[in-house]
Amino acid sequence: QVQLQESGPGLVKPSQTLSLTCSVSGGSISSGGHYWSWVRQHPGKGLEWIGYIYYNGGTTYYNPSLKSRVTILVDTSKNQFSLKLSSVTAADTAIYYCARVSGYDFYFDPWGQGTLVTVSS
Amino acid sequence: NFMLTQPHSVSESPGRTVTISCTRSSGSIASNYVQWYQQRPGSSPTTVIYGDTQRPSGVPNRFSGSIDSSSNSASLTISGLKAEDEADYYCLSYDSSISNWVFGGGTKLTVL
């Protein structure tokens, strides 16, 4: 059973780059034709899709509202994928989730447990 | 671009049936599949409905999804409510015009 686990700094200073990694266990990130996604949730608020990358690392899709600041990469050798969000502000404080997206039915499952990132000086 | 609008909260008694709506602001609700996610307090979301009406394995058949073109909305219906169903529920659909996934604002279900 595939499991995902987010990791990275819990505190980032304003104007810096937020960097998170999602480690995939129980299956290969490069098999099955899946997409690998990041979703965030502002404290006490709803969900916001950030973007995803195809399993072969060749294609990325980003939320248009974040596109200029987001980079998602996949590292098949480590069975991980990553998120970089540049020029962060307090508005980027959120719980960040990674999730697998079925390449056929396009539903997000499973999800990682989420990691809280706070942007503050 | 479109938005998905959900009621902020709903409540119902155990054993009863509740329906949560998700209304698309523009374009046809039938244009792109709707998914539903359950998020219990302190937990990650899990899928309860995909492809408008499909249940992932392991999701009880008390959960069902539908779409209604006349109201341009999707609905999640939960029958035989249990205390464990108390959670936030989010609808999700794809905006093909700008290649963006759009979540509804979420509905807090309280099982009284």
Q: Which of 86-105 (B) contact A at CB < 8 A?
A: 90, 92, 94, 98-105
Alpha carbons A39 and B15: distance in angstroms, whole number? 33
Averaged pLDDT, B17-44 = 97
Residue of A50, A52, A109 to mutate, testing the B interface (most B Cβ within 10 Å of its Cβ) = A109
Which residues of A fall within a CB distance of 8 Å from B47?
107-109
Min distance B46 CA to chain A CA atoms (Å): 7
pLDDT tens-digit readout, B46-74: 999 999 999 999 999 999 999 999 999 99
**Range in A48-62, B17-31, B62-76 the model is least confident about:** A48-62
Q: Is A43 on the interface with B (CB under 8 A)?
A: no
Which residues of A fall within a CB distance of 8 Å from B37?
47, 108
pLDDT tens-digit readout, A63-120: 999 999 999 999 999 999 999 999 999 999 999 999 999 988 899 999 999 999 999 9
pLDDT tens-digit readout, B79-89: 999 999 999 99
DSSP state of A59: -
Give residue A32's pLDDT. Answer: 75
* Amino acid at site B29: I
Rg of chain A in Å (alpha carbons): 13
Alpha carbons B81 and A121: distance in angstroms, whole number? 46
Alpha carbons A85 and A18: distance in angstroms, whole number? 5
Report residue A5 as tokens. 């686990």
Task: Evaluate if residue A57 carries a pLDDT over 80.
Answer: no
Query: B6 with B106: CB under 8 angstroms?
Result: yes
From the list B33, B50, B100, the residue facing A63 with the nearest CB is: B100
In DSSP notation, B22-56 reads: EEESSS-GGGS-EEEEEE-TTS--EEEEBTTTBPP
Q: Which helix (H) or strand (E) holds A117?
A: strand A115-119
Give residue A56's pLDDT. Answer: 80
Nearby residues of B75 by Cβ (< 8 Å), 6 or more positions away: B19, B20, B21, B22, B65, B66, B67, B68
Give residue A51's pLDDT. Answer: 97
pLDDT tens-digit readout, A18-43: 999 999 999 999 887 899 999 999 99
pLDDT confidence of A55, banded at 50, 70, 90? confident
Give residue A7's pLDDT. Answer: 98
CB contact under 8 A, B46 and A61: no
pLDDT confidence of A58, banded at 50, 70, 90? confident
How many other C-beta atoms are found inside a 10 Å radius of the C-beta of residue B12?
16
